[in-house]
Copies of this chain bind each other. A is one copy, B any other.
């Protein structure tokens, strides 16, 4: 568990000449010894100079949690000044009011003001209260604390440094959380300034450099420096171009422009970066983050330790590849060129990719074998998942066939004119199809997704970020290389990027400035997680497929049995498999009912009874817990309804608007059902399993959507397109069309070339 080979707990040494900090955020999970530095903005309230109790409590909770995981936690805190100021102010007001009471009649009460409080006095007065508060809070987590007061000078005295070092090690050994503060009462008098937000206070030097010194001295793995800034920006925050730097490398320092007026003078950004770089050079990884943001405070420390993209991470090791933000930018640029190619050129790229899948079959299958071996060895994947991971010559062949179909349909996608209007003389409007922009496709296990989704993106002129599962890393890598090889033939290699498996899905879902649409392909759980995590980016897909088959009183026996069998048993784990069978009341105890039940028994389908169905039976199977269950297995619910209308109501109430089926010979009943039912797919006398892009003749699908806007049902190429409006005039102005103007709106529809929807 210790990262460094032989960490000698009590060794006293100067900062190592060149320690080894973590190269990537994902490694921060391994941090054993952590210092959390709380800037004064974190510990004190924003409006006044009292302590921000809720924030402190949450920080204590996170530190205690990490401590309970077996990590060695230290806190470097501010706040004694604020605590003491609150206290001293109160004392002064009291003594003033007593004095004024003695001079009553002079009516000076209104003018009563608090004099400038000396920071060192405040700190001394506040230190005891602050420690008592920390102790009371940590006690709730059965965690002991210890107070350490130091000055920067203490580090210069070899003896003091050695004593401090061994004291801290001893405390950590006993699972005690040292809480370290500067011993302000004995430092030189500070200069007055208006640093802290309360005005009548003299600030003291922030504790950035103290935390950095301590981190290096104690060979700390990770220093988390919390203040009220999000992290390090490449330009002064608030300017047009300012971007938060996710990972900062020491060599990049010259690329930063610091603001001329840093809001916090001492302890400002430059000082923070200096301290961070010092710690980094000493072998400690550093993250600078905002500890005051109300939404993230609750998790900021644990999120950082879990490797999430919070604040700015300082790393000495510059990774070989581009960051995901750079990849998204490259993809967008490449995508714009891709969209401007001729349709035939996009088709050629897809055909070339299809060829490569055959030509490079051996390389692909060998990479896939490596993934399969690793997955089998780890034993983490179930047999169905292993099947999905595995590629074969026949899988590659059918993939190539599918790709060639997409190449054909790609001819009529981008740049199609959907509508043409003559708005006025010489003013013509067109609505044309354009790509959506940058797509992020997140897929699990199945590496055959990669060329399929890539082909759809190429056909629709979209840029694409691909995020595959770790288990298919080798296969995905070679398939992506082949895709880029195909793209290169028209100079758009960058339009499709493979995102490192190290990137967290949750972090990607937050890149709303870079990504236009997320398409998750995987389990319902994956989809739900992504829907929750996506901030301002639409997610195409569905998280539930509670599909119904309704057997009407006028159903044909054969069709009913066949459709129920196909809908439930063909592939029970599919989202378009039947979950609930609705049976018309009149059919109970008729041959059609008996045959369906017999078939389900033969197929070993476990039956759950809906409440009404159960009430009809003497010996009922298990009653369902919920009528909204997606079993995803050889299980289903059976419920009784009074009529077609009753079935529609049931489906509206308990269904997920995915795919629902009626089996009946009565055309009128069927048409009523098809009309009334508000689902993405409504079928008459056909299996629910037909809800699929390929079976619908869309060539391929990126998924099935149960959203009500944009694409609905199986989504093919068209779901990856949006439109733009192009208006061509001759200097037309709106004023020309006013009552006094010379022009009139014509709004004549002009013929549009018929689209080929194949």
Contacts and interface: CB of A to CB of B under 8 A. Distances in A.
A683 interface: yes
A647 to B, nearest CB: 15
A680 B54 contact: no
B51 A54 contact: no
A729 B684 contact: yes
Identical chains bound together, number: 2
Interface in A667-724: 670, 674-676, 678-687, 689-691, 695-697, 707-714, 722-724
Secondary structure at the A interface, as helix, strand, loop or mixed, is: mixed
A430 B269 CA distance: 61
B690 A734 contact: yes
A728 B697 contact: no
A740 to B, nearest CB: 13
A725 B680 contact: yes
Interface in A710-758: 710-714, 722-735, 737, 745, 747, 749, 752, 754, 756-758
A565 interface: yes
A516 B708 contact: yes
A447 to B, nearest CB: 23
Contacts of A434: 678
Given A570-B735, A691-B725, A709 B712 contact: no
A718 to B, nearest CB: 9
Contact of A566 (B86, B628, B734): B734
Contacts of A545: none
A733 B298 contact: no
Given A53-B57, A709-B709, A745-B697, A676 B340 contact: yes
Interface in A189-220: none
Contacts of A570: 733-735
A45 B681 CA distance: 46
Contact of A681 (B562, B663, B724, B730): B724
Residue picked from A53, A60, A566, A707, most chain B C-beta under 10 Å? A53
Contact of A686 (B239, B427, B559, B685): B427
Interface in A543-577: 556, 558-559, 562-563, 565-566, 570
Nearest to A688: B734
Interface stretch (A132-140, A306-314, A474-482): A132-140
B747 A722 contact: no
Contact of A538 (B294, B419, B566, B709): B709
A24 B394 CA distance: 67
A729 B707 CA distance: 25
A2 interface: no
B734 A708 contact: no
A336 interface: yes
A140 B562 CA distance: 72
A172 interface: no
B54 A58 contact: yes
Nearest to A735: B566
Nearest to A337: B676
B298 A734 contact: no
Contacts of A726: 674, 682-684
Interface string A37-64: 0000000010000110110111011000
A711 B696 CA distance: 24
A348 to B, nearest CB: 20
A548 to B, nearest CB: 15
Interface residues of A, number: 106
B733 A687 contact: yes
B709 A725 contact: no
Nearest to A730: B685
Contacts of A670: 728
Contacts of A686: 427, 727-729, 731-733
Nearest to A87: B139
B695 A745 contact: yes
Given A726-B674, A747-B697, A240 B626 contact: yes
A421 interface: yes
Nearest to A82: B140
A723 B714 CA distance: 11
B336 A678 contact: yes
A376 interface: no
A517 interface: yes
Given A714-B725, A726-B674, A735-B570, A708 B137 contact: no
Nearest to A298: B294
Contacts of A140: 45, 50-51, 53, 86
A67 B57 CA distance: 22
B708 A436 contact: yes
10 A-B pairs closest in CB distance: A686-B729, A559-B731, A566-B733, A697-B747, A53-B57, A689-B734, A54-B57, A50-B140, A710-B710, A709-B710
Interface of A: 45, 50-51, 53-54, 56-58, 60-61, 86, 90, 129, 132-133, 136-137, 139-142, 239-240, 294, 298, 336, 340, 419, 421, 423, 427, 429, 431, 434, 436-437, 516-517, 531, 536, 538, 540, 556, 558-559, 562-563, 565-566, 570, 626-628, 654, 663, 670, 674-676, 678-687, 689-691, 695-697, 707-714, 722-735, 737, 745, 747, 749, 752, 754, 756-758
30 contacts: A50-B142, A53-B137, A54-B57, A54-B58, A86-B140, A419-B757, A421-B696, A431-B713, A516-B708, A538-B709, A566-B735, A570-B733, A674-B726, A683-B729, A684-B728, A684-B729, A685-B731, A686-B727, A686-B728, A687-B732, A687-B734, A690-B732, A695-B745, A708-B722, A709-B709, A710-B722, A712-B722, A712-B724, A714-B725, A754-B754
